[in-house]
Chains A and B, each alone.
Chain A
């Protein structure tokens, strides 16, 4: 009985979200007074959903014959997804990504995409995961091009083509696996040693989800999509979409105790951290830089996998910490944005003089992404690498730490421009408004979440046990 209550209250969150998505889309059509307030409606709906979601009691429920797994892990991730959504909506409210007269489709798509993400995070079998992946991705393709400008459409097109390719791989892999394991649930997949056909299936599925997580060599869409999409959506892609991919990859990784699949993960991690960090060195656009940084961080997350349960605990800590720094950095990009393309790194010149607090916040995001103590990013990397070393993967960690030393160069470049170069011209300081609130919140997060990481770490540890 208690379980049924809990299941009902847990499911009320996605239902509420779906309801609010349609409300945002349809209500303003009928009630003229509500036009232009779609963002606020969406924000309040998400906040309401957040109050409904609670950390689960220590039970795991399997709903809809195993399609959804509701447990502390899923509620941890759901709350994370809702928080990211709330922040992205706040960004969109303070700087409208689309023209005022357009309807609520922007928020509708955003919420639908989050819904897909939540289902993906709780998926109990591969087929549900695939459907959730599509629900996550399709709105995003549209969102990437929602401004209908050239770079936006280019981003949407590239994202869609490569994303569809990734989905096709996934479906192909699932089909192969389905011929061998009819149930497709993660529990069932775990019990066996794969024959060649199943192995091929696994590899295809892993490739498909590696697209979403943006592991090299499946990252080609990332720079263009991040650059061309509205900055709010880039933040959403970096913070939330990656998390969904990571969760499924972890599930797949956890199916194997060794063998070729683990080796493939090893190579994926190595190639990703090396390539992404080297490619990032030459970037001139801030959003492109953040895109490559997001790929690099996907690599660090893959390194953390090798720590086993302790590693996944680190991943669960890493995701919100990374999300805070990324959302913050994109919010700064948004504040400085003029026109359709994001600001160049050089456009930040003299920011320390003209807007000192903005520059200070931006440097806290950069130092956190670079993993310099005492910021939260350092703690996240430390936990991620600690697990892998104690599991015996010291070589992998050595490569990762060396590349993270390389990454320092491009993150520092941003602070150099802000603090050590004179401003190019006089800047029109548009007041930040609620954007400033989000930036301040994120900056406080990356500064404090490291030194005071105990509460979050405890939650992450509890959640990681349920995977």
Chain B
């Protein structure tokens, strides 16, 4: 019963249980399907508030821990717990989920039951990834996420959905299987030294691996996470998946799934293999910066709004990776904050593109223009989100980016300088798009009668807007919750090279 009393465990299980319950609802009953899904996601959000309230920022250990034996002969436990970083990402997931569900109500018309079941299972695996403290459990959720996302893109996606879904699945799977081999290696090495089988992540932090072994293990983990982030040059699945996925899929992909890669670096790759991390960190930071510039330039040349936002994601994630690879408190805190910010602002951008697409069935920039006159509410929201995305002071994006850039100047001054150019570029293309879409004369007759945002759309956009402003004005509650976890991460990464005990 403990598995349901612990609020964290409840968060993991609730969506999946709701997904199973949904199978019992008759598939024609669209109202009930939507109702059950929305209720389940709102309940999840409610439970996550409880988590937020009960979380004490000063504590260094993992909180809300639950450790139940599962497969004892392999030392595999149902072991979950969170620190500040996972708390924030879980909150983000719990918040974006009802938003994604609301955004799907009018968009998804076919096979609704399957769609909502996929969404709910996806949520369980997303929260599970952030909550898992057992390496096996982590991998289970990490890979388990592929099936629902694959169906979301492949069944309810755009015209090239089959290609995009297959590419997404195979890229991610190919990136992750080597991580599986590496996980087995880490655990066997730990067993060889201590004589005990365990997949517990905190226990494995104490592992004593030679730098040579760490090198390969880090490479295997880093590849899996680099595909997911995605770091340049492993990003090619992302534009396809984003463009073809339904709006809710894009929101969750950008908002949560990409964060799983960064989270993987913070929770696993760097703390497990500190010696190798010291070698790899500058290279990964450099790849992040390449991603910033490359992503920005490519985004600049896009005429499809969704594609532009997708490539801007590559750039933003590059900034975040630069931040966490600096191993410096300000930069890492900024990166954690920026993960939340990116989830909010890019999520909102995809929602807004979805709003336009539902009305006009096109995402091309040149098909719009002058929307400020016909959709004033939309134009205002779009403005705030765009400014947040490019990092205007006073909104959330600024705080995160500024912290990352300040922090990284101390560690990698040249990389930071290059990263600044990407930030400037993002202003160029985002504002350019905004101008073409919203200002000027109404160029197309079809656009004259576009209805403004309706109540449901306001309902799911307002919470995001509120957070964008709130975090921009007062980022401290977020930063304070992440602070301890960030320091623990940096300490783990800076551990002296462990004594040379051969595997």
A residues near B, CB below 8 A? 352-353, 356, 367, 372-374, 378, 382-383, 385-386, 389-390, 394, 397-398, 401-402, 404-405, 408-409, 412, 415-416, 419-421, 453-454, 457-458, 461
CB-based nearest A residue for B74 = A386
Contacts of A461 in B (CB 8 A): 73
- Determine the main DSSP class of B at the interface with A: helix
With beta carbons under 8 angstroms apart, the residue of B111, B170, B181 that contacts A389 is B181
| Given A394-B185, A454-B70, A461-B73, A372 contacting B170 (CB threshold 8 A) | no
Q: Are B144 and A420 within 8 A (Cβ)?
A: no
Listed by A's residue number, 13 A-B pairs whose Cβ atoms lie within 8 Å are A372-B147, A374-B144, A382-B180, A385-B181, A401-B181, A402-B178, A405-B173, A405-B174, A415-B150, A416-B154, A416-B165, A420-B154, A420-B162
Distance of A353 Cα from B27 Cα, bound (Å) = 12
Instruction: Decide yes or no whether B501 CB sits under 8 A from chain A.
Output: no
* Nearest-neighbor residue (CB-CB) of B177 within chain A: A401
Contact of B146 among A372, A416, A419 (CB under 8 A): A372
User: Do A389 and B184 contact each other (CB < 8 Å), given the known contacts A412-B170, A419-B151?
Assistant: yes
Cβ–Cβ < 8 Å partners of B146 in chain A: 372
Name A397's contact: one of B72, B141, B144, B181 (CB within 8 Å).
B181
A405 touches B184 (CB 8 A): no
Q: Return chain A residues, CB-CB under 8 Å to B174.
A: 402, 405
A367 contacts which chain B residues (CB < 8 A)? 147
Max chain A CB contacts within 10 Å: which of B71, B141, B165, B191? Answer: B71
**Seed contacts A390-B188, A394-B181, A402-B178; 15 additional CB < 8 Å A-B pairs:** A353-B111, A372-B147, A374-B140, A378-B140, A382-B180, A394-B184, A394-B185, A397-B181, A401-B177, A401-B178, A408-B169, A409-B166, A454-B72, A457-B71, A458-B73
* Contact yes or no, A420 B140, CB < 8 A: no
Q: Are A405 and B170 in contact (CB under 8 A)?
A: yes
Scan residues 149-180 of chain B and give those whose CB is less than 8 A from a CB of chain A: 150-151, 154-155, 161-162, 165-166, 169-170, 173-174, 177-178, 180
B130 to chain A, nearest CB (A): 17
Shortest Cβ gap from A465 to chain B (Å): 12
Given contacts A373-B140, A390-B188, A401-B181, A412 and B166 within 8 Å (CB-CB): yes
Given contacts A372-B143, A372-B144, A419-B154, is CB(A404)–CB(B185) below 8 Å? no
Q: Is the CB of B154 within 8 A of A402?
A: no
Chain B residue, CB-CB nearest to A404? B177
Residues of B within 8 A of A389 (CB): 181, 184-185, 188
Within 8 Å CB of B409, what residues of A?
Answer: none
The answer to whether B139 has its CB under 8 Å from any CB of chain A is yes
* Interface of B toward A, CB cutoff 8 Å: 70-74, 111, 114, 136, 139-141, 143-144, 146-147, 150-151, 154-155, 161-162, 165-166, 169-170, 173-174, 177-178, 180-181, 184-185, 187-188, 191-192
Known A-B contacts A401-B177, A420-B154; A386 and B71 likewise in contact (beta carbons under 8 Å): no
A386 CA / B73 CA spacing, docked (Å): 12
With contact pairs A385-B184, A409-B166 given, residues A453 and B71 touching in the complex (Cβ less than 8 Å): yes
In the complex the two chains form, is A390's CB within 8 Å of B184's CB? yes
Q: Are B143 and A373 in contact (CB under 8 A)?
A: yes
Q: Is the CB of A408 within 8 A of B184?
A: no
Taking CB as reference atom, which chain B residue is nearest A403? B177
Question: A386 near B184 (CB under 8 angstroms)?
Answer: yes
10 closest Cβ pairs, A-B complex: A390-B188, A389-B184, A401-B177, A373-B140, A405-B174, A405-B177, A373-B144, A373-B143, A420-B154, A420-B162
CB distance from B172 to the nearest CB of A (A): 10
| B147 surroundings in chain A (CB, below 8 A) | 367, 372
Which of B71, B74, B111, B180 has the most C-beta atoms of chain A within 10 angstroms of its own C-beta?
B180
Give the contacting residue for A412; candidates B73, B114, B169, B188; CB below 8 A. B169
- Contact yes or no, A373 B139, CB < 8 A: yes
B181 contacts A398, C-beta separation under 8 Å? yes
> A382: which B residues are within 8 A, CB to CB?
136, 180
CA distance A334 to B384 in the complex (A): 58
Closest A-chain residue to B16, C-beta based?
A374
The complex places the Cα of A409 from the Cα of B155 at a distance, in Å, of 17
Kindly provide the distance from the CB of A312 to the nearest chain B CB, expressed in whole angstroms.
14
Residues in A with CB closer than 8 Å to B136 are: 382
CB distance from A377 to the nearest CB of B (A): 12
> A402 and B162: CB pair below 8 A?
no
Enumerate chain B residues within 8 angstroms of A352, measured Cβ to Cβ: 111, 114, 155
Complex Cα gap A412–B181 (Å) = 22
Q: Chain B contacts of A458 at CB under 8 A?
A: 73
Contacts of A404 in B (CB 8 A): 177
Measured CB to CB, the nearest residue on chain A to B179 is A401
Return B417 CB to nearest CB of chain A, in Å: 39
Set of chain A residues within 8 Å of B166, measured between Cβ atoms: 409, 412, 416
**By the criterion CB–CB under 8 Å, are A383 and B162 in contact?**
no
Q: Of residues B111, B114, B150, B181, which shows the largest number of chain A Cβ atoms within 10 Å of its Cβ?
A: B181
Q: Once the chains bind, are A416 and B162 in contact (CB under 8 Å)?
A: yes
**B74–A408 CB distance below 8 A:** no
A373 to chain B, nearest CB (A): 4
Nearest-CB residue, chain A, relative to B146 = A372
Interfacial chain B residues near A397, Cβ < 8 Å: 181, 184
Instruction: Please indicate the chain A residues that have their CB under 8 angstroms from the CB of B70 in the complex.
Output: 454
- Is there an interface contact between A383 and B74, defined as CB atoms closer than 8 Å? yes
Given A405-B173, A419-B155, A420-B155, the answer on whether A378 and B184 have CB atoms closer than 8 Å is: no
Chain A proximity of B68: nearest CB distance (Å): 12
Complex-state Cα separation, A372 to B146, whole angstroms: 8
**Smallest CB separation, B143 vs chain A (Å):** 5
Give the residue name and chain of the B residue nearest to A364 (CB): B147
* Pick from B72, B111, B139, B191: contact of A390, CB under 8 Å: B191
Contact residues in B for A394 (Cβ distance below 8 Å): 181, 184-185
CB distance from B213 to the nearest CB of A (A): 10
Bound: A383/B197 CA distance, A: 13
A408 touching B170 in the complex, CB below 8 Å, given contacts A416-B162, A453-B71: yes
In the complex formed, the residue of B with least CB distance to A360 is B114
Query: How many angstroms between the C-alpha atoms of A378 and B162 in the bound complex?
Result: 24
Q: CA–CA, A398 to B340, complex, Å? A: 35
With a cutoff of 8 Å between Cβ atoms, the chain B residues found around residue A373 in the complex are 139-141, 143-144
- Tell me, in angstroms, the Cα distance from A372 to B147 when the chains sit together: 8
Closest CB in chain A relative to B199 CB, distance in Å = 10
Q: How far is the CA of A385 from the CA of B111 in the complex (A)?
A: 38
B165 touching A420 by the CB < 8 A rule?
Answer: yes
Chain A residue with minimal CB distance to B136? A382
Q: Flag if A378 contacts B143 (CB, 8 Å).
A: yes
Task: Give bound CA distance, A445 to B70, whole Å.
Answer: 18
Of the candidates A372, A453, A457, the one having the most CB atoms from chain B within 10 angstroms of its own CB is A372
Q: Which residues of B contact A386 (CB under 8 A)?
A: 74, 184, 187-188
Question: Shortest distance in angstroms between B340's beta carbon and chain A's nearest beta carbon?
Answer: 27
Contacts of A353 in B (CB 8 A): 111
Residues of B within 8 A of A453 (CB): 71
Q: In the complex, A405→B169 CA distance in Å? A: 10
Cβ–Cβ contact B162 & A385, under 8 A: no
In the complex, what distance in Å separates the CA atom of A454 from the CA atom of B72? Answer: 8
Point out the residues of chain B lying under 8 angstroms from A402, CB to CB: 174, 177-178
How long is the Cα–Cα vector from A382 to B143 in the complex, in angstroms?
13
Instruction: Give the distance to chain A from B473, nearest Cβ to Cβ, in Å.
Output: 42
Please, which residues of chain B bring their CB within 8 A of the CB of A415? 150
A385 to chain B: which residues have CB within 8 Å?
A: 180-181, 184
CA distance A409 to B163 in the complex (A): 12
CA distance A385 to B143 in the complex (A): 17
A373 to B144, CA, bound (A): 5
